[in-house]
Structure 1
Amino acid sequence: MSDGLLTGALGEVRVRRPRMLSPLREHLRDTMWFAPTVGLVGSMVLWWAAAELDTELVRLLQDDEEYDTLKDLNQVAEDTKVVISTIGSAMMTFIGVVFSISLVAVQMASGQFSPRVVRLYVRSRITKITLTVFLATFLFSLMTLTSFESEQDPRLVTNVPLVEGVLALLMVLLSLLLFVAYVNGTLRMMRIGFVIDRIARESFRVALKHPTEEVPDDGRLGPETARITHEGRAGVLRDVNIARAVRAARRQGAVLRLLPRIGDFVVPGTPVFAVHGGPAPGRRALRYTVSVGVERTFHQDLGFGLRQLSDIALRALSPAVNDPTTAVQALDRIIQFLASVAPYPLGALHHRDRRGTVRLVQPVPSWPDLVDLGLTEIRACAAGHPQVTRRMLAGIDDLLLLAPADRRAPLVRHRALLAQAVERMVPEAADRDFALLPDRQGIG
């Protein structure tokens, strides 16, 4: 694995030290205000620099008494003013179009796929870049208009916004190119295959960042000396600042064991850390270590991708939608994810300090947890859809070949329960035999 080293079936797993700002970076990616705000500030700085260049250019020409050149520049500025005014009004129209397309896409995704996939649109880079450049162009155009002067005598003019006008035109060209890319990207995000692929790729990134090992016996961590409770607001445990927690535990010579899993809902007073082998770190040392929000994120949540894929399949199998092909597409990625993590130990992450000493133990879903999350709910709704049952049986058979012998029990259980559900649901023997025939395409 690229982000960790597995030394044995039950051996220690060394994980790359996380970057300090990784939780902050992930949180900012879940917002729509940060990128446009940076763009507006950058637009102001760019306008200020361009205005200084224009002022310096006019000053040099006045010192050289280049009256004709100043007169020509002044005429160009008058023509440019009309163009800049048009740009300012047009950019507001473009911004309205971008917002309209985004809202329609989010509404369709929430209604047809799952409310939990809306975050893919919020985190879309092309959406944020397009909105940022549009707002920056609009603000730059407004600030450029303030640079135009009404003096008729070129020798009295202090600033001719020539550089500002050229930059405004370049920003408009960039905006048009981004608008084309934005429309193309948004149309792709409306396709269920692309959405499922994005969720799967995010899930694989989490799996690569979280090589895991079996939950160790607490005796290896030392006796439990204290517990640290959550004092913030109630919400979903989104992530843990691993570097801060490891540093706080190292200073006390202790080991911290995270009690809830990422994705659990915690309330004030809930124990979040158990301290082993040393005194508990102070509250100040653990400040901002635990992040709680209103919804789960992919950052450290190994099961969140399966949750989203399962939700999409359940929505597709509902009587209101009745789209088993979409459920099969979701099952394809669920089987793919389970196959990718099947050979590796699961249960807990061991995070170490620079000397290789374990300082933080973080629980993650076990193999039965992941199998149940990916298959249970779909299996309960799939009995009446032979396309889905055939694909699920083929997927389980593939996993039985790939998974170690000690991990086949959950798969065998789901296969038996699926066969029982089909026998109860389908009265005709021929239809039952057809529904229980494994097929990787469901019904090709």
Structure 2
Amino acid sequence: MTSFKTRILRARDSFWFLPALLGVAALIVAQTLVMLDRYLDGTALGSWGFLLYRVGASGSRDILGAIGGSMLAVAATSFSITISVLATASSTYGPRLVRNFMSDRGNQFVLGIFGSTFLYSLMVLRSIRSDTDAATFVPDIAVNVAVLLAVVDVAVLVYFIHHIADSIQVSTLSARVRGELVAVTDALYPKELPDEATGARTLPATALAVGSDASGFVVGVDEKALIVAARKAGSVVEMHVRAGSHVIEGERIASVTGNASDAMAKQIRGAVVLGDTRTPNQDIEFAVQQLTEMAVRAMSPSTNDPYTARNALAELALGMVPLAMRPALLLGRNDADGHYRLTIARPSVPELIDQVFDAIRQYGLGNPPAVIAAVDLARRIGTATIHEEIRLAVVRQLTALRSAFGGGDAHPIDVDTVCKHIDEATSAISAKA
């Protein structure tokens, strides 16, 4: 259930992809420059000759050996630093955030350029022939390019130290996750509903159930492909899973009426992409959960970092508040001819609100500053939304939060302060009704 395009996209986001490309590029450049040196061997370069620094076969071997050996050592050190950062981020902010480091283009480029310089030096080194060999050959152009690469690598090392120190900061981590949340919000809940969107229809119980042919997390659903397939077959499809759902082999993922052939079932399975882990590409719940987890972990007694929690909740507002202002989501889809073809699955905004505030209420009551930040998040969502059901969901969560915090073991002053914020937020939301 994984298309070739999906495999390419998944490989592009993996940690090894960019370093592998740079390594292949280094091999090609090395061989090309060595061939150019052979072509120009013995040719007078005229006024351009001063650009080449010629040190002979022995000197070239020493230079390339020093560059290759040092770059391999620097690459190993960089790997060690990255692994240390991954361990720190995993234990402090949550293991799901490790994916952000693995997919970081800066880290991939740094490790790739160090490894590429080593491969380049090794390939050029093997082409050198000294006076004791059958024919003397020194690729002066390739050796000089290796020196330039070494200079570039020094600058890349300085960049890497700065980048890795910056990437571990809470503000950088939360901003990156917030960017993913904003992107998936715009993709799944657009400001303007698509022309093919319409009210959802539920298929009858007699509809053919389509089971999954594999197990894993749903990381994406190709809705356009489903509409095209349903149109060609004259069918109507209702999806029972969405990005983020976990399915077991044989479990129902969709229902279909009309032409419910094996070919149609195969196309439905092909449009549902499964993976071993969740990603925020189409999974808005996962993006919300990442920021919620940062806030919850910061509220734990072992961490006790209310400022990190407040920062995570503030970033969460940048995704949740615009989401609450979007038009009501229509889960039905028509084809180009206006015929109903697909019922999609999406989490509702009240569902997302419940996930956030249920976690805050369960794990954050011992941290009044973080609870106040959560109340501020609720107020911003409730006063900005244009939908009554979202407003009611926020008020319900504020009422539950007030009841839970007031009945806890917090200091009376903290109880009064938090309850005052909750009452003010509730009043502000009610005034917008």
TM bucket (normalised to shorter chain) is 0.7 to 0.9
The corresponding residue for 1:413 is: 396
- Could you tell me which residue of structure 2 aligns to residue 245 of structure 1? 226
Give the equivalent residue in structure 1 for 2:287.
305
Query: Unmatched 5+ residue regions in structure 2?
Result: 423-433
| Secondary structure of the corresponding residue to residue 87 of structure 1 | helix
Give the equivalent residue in structure 1 for 2:114. 134
Q: How does 1:308-327 map to 2 (within 5 A)?
A: 308-327=290-309
C-alpha deviation, 1:256, in angstroms: 3.1
- Paired residue for 2:150? 172
Give the structure 1 partner of residue 429 of structure 2.
Answer: none
Match of 1:111 among 46, 70, 91: 91
Deviation at 1:427, TM superposition (A): 6.4
Partner of 1:58: 41
The answer on whether the counterparts of 1:324 and 1:388 sit within 8 Å (CA) in structure 2 is: yes
Q: 1:21 to 1:328 in 2, by over 3 A?
A: farther
What letter corresponds to residue 422 of structure 1 in structure 2? F
Residue 188 to residue 87, structure 1, CA distance change in 2 (3 Å): same
Distance, in Å, in 1 between the alignment partners of 2:5 and 2:333 is: 15
**Equivalent AA in structure 1 for residue 381 of structure 2:** L
Q: CA deviation at 1:309?
A: 1.1
Distance 1:366 1:346, change over 3 A: farther
Q: Tell me how many residue pairs correspond in the alignment.
A: 409
Quote the offset at 1:91 in angstroms.
0.8
Q: Does the Cα contact within 8 Å between 1:328 and 1:391 map onto a contact in 2?
A: yes
Quote the Cα distance in structure 1 between the aligned partners of 2:281 and 2:5: 9
SS at match of 2:63: helix
Structure 2 residue 79 is matched with structure 1 residue 99: yes
Match of 2:59 among 60, 79, 104: 79
Q: Identity of paired residues, percent? A: 25
Equivalent position amino acid for 1:263 in 2 = G
Q: Partner residue of 2:428? A: none
Q: Whole-Å Cα distance in 2 between the matches of residues 319 and 434 of structure 1?
A: 21
Q: Please, which moves more after superposition, 46-55 or 426-435?
A: 426-435
Bigger mean CA deviation after superposition, 417-426 or 114-123: 417-426
1:435 to partner: Cα distance: 2.2
Matched residue type, 1:431: D
Distance across 2 between alignment mates of 1:370 and 1:111: 25
Query: Given residue 197 of structure 1, which amino acid in structure 2 is its aligned partner?
Result: A
SS of alignment partner, residue 255 of structure 2: strand
2:18 maps to which of 35, 41, 59: 35
The verdict on how the C-alpha distance between 1:330 and 1:176 changes in structure 2, with shifts beyond 3 A counting, is: same
The alignment status of 1:192 with 2:192, answered yes or no, reads no
| Structure 1 contact 73–160 (Cα < 8 Å) conserved | no
CA distance in 2, matches of 1:175, 1:354: 54
Aligned to 1:17: none
Give 5+ residue unaligned stretches, structure 1: 1-19, 440-444
- Residues of 2 paired with 1:431 and 1:376: CA distance? 20
Q: 1 CA distance for matches of 2:331 and 2:124?
A: 54
2:184 to 184, 206, 227: 206
* 342-351 or 407-416, which deviates more: 342-351
Q: Which amino acid aligns with 2:417?
A: F
Q: 1:249 to 1:44 in 2, by over 3 A?
A: farther
The structure with the greater share of residues assigned to helix is 2
* Partners of 1:209 and 1:175 in 2: CA distance: 38
Opposite residue 38 of structure 1, the aligned amino acid is: L
| Distance in 2 of aligned mates of 1:406 and 1:174 | 57
| 1:270 matched residue in structure 2 | 251
Post-superposition offset of 1:230: 0.9
Q: Secondary structure of 1:127's match?
A: helix
| CA separation of 1:430 and 1:91: change in aligned 2, threshold 3 A | closer
Counterpart for residue 337 of structure 1? 319
- Deviates most, 186-195 or 27-36: 27-36
Deviation, 1:239, is 1.3
Shift of 1:272: 1.6
| TM-score for the superposition, normalised by structure 2 | 0.85
What is the CA-CA distance between 1:346 and the residue it aligns to?
5.3
Instruction: Note if contact 1:389-1:436 (Cα within 8 Å) is conserved in structure 2.
Output: no
Q: TM-score, normalised by structure 1?
A: 0.83
Aligned mates of 1:434, 1:373 — CA distance in 2: 24
Partner amino acid for 1:290? V
1:49 aligned partner = 32
Kindly indicate whether residue 144 of structure 2 is the aligned counterpart of residue 162 of structure 1: no
Following TM superposition, by how much is the alpha carbon of 1:412 offset from its aligned partner in structure 2, in angstroms?
0.6
Separation in 1, partners of 2:363, 2:355: 14
Q: Cα RMSD (Å) of the superposition?
A: 3.0
Change (3 A) 1:346 1:312: farther
Q: 2: CA distance between counterparts of 1:102 and 1:247?
A: 44
Conserved 8 A contact 1:230-1:272: yes
Whether the 8 Å CA contact 2:199–2:331 is kept in 1: the answer is no
For the structure 1 residues 168 and 427, does the alpha-carbon distance in structure 2 shift closer, same or farther, using more than 3 Å as the test?
Answer: closer
Aligned partners of 1:348 and 1:361 also within 8 Å: no
Q: Deviation of residue 248 (structure 1)?
A: 2.9
* Maintained 8 Å contact 1:260/1:363: yes
Distance 1:92-1:357 versus aligned 2 partners, 3 A rule: farther
Give the superposition deviation at 1:184. 1.4
